[in-house]
Amino acid sequence: MHAQLYEAQKRFHRACVQINHLNGKLENLQRRYVKAKSDDDKFFRYSLRMRLLTVEGIIKCYCQYACLKKNEVLDLRFKLFGEAPDEGETIYGGVDDDDDDEGYSGV
């Protein structure tokens, strides 16, 4: 179980690092999109919008994965050490499967 806990923590950390990297990429794409919009460059606006949507979707997937790993870590810590999660660390906190993708603008 200790090995499972270590592996889950490692995967959670790597997912968080990847989310941070993708957030930087998203900010860069948003700046480029605003510039293309102000220049009235429809071709680049379209391609950048498609990239923005793709990166936002990937970020959402990584967030859901990180949330699952966080819950796995909390569960394993509870089983191993009897640590109860804090109020903000409840199971599936922050993951809503019923949310629409409309209006989603990253993490």
pLDDT tens, position by position, 50-86:
999 999 999 999 999 999 999 999 999 998 888 777 6
State the pLDDT at residue 104.
40
Percent of the chain with pLDDT over 90: 67
Domain ranges across the chain: 2-89
Please state the pTM of the whole predicted model: 0.75
End-to-end CA distance of the chain: 31
pLDDT of 98 higher than 50: no
Identity of the amino acid at 102: E
Q: Is it the case that residue 90 has pLDDT exceeding 70?
A: no
d(CA 69, CA 57): 19
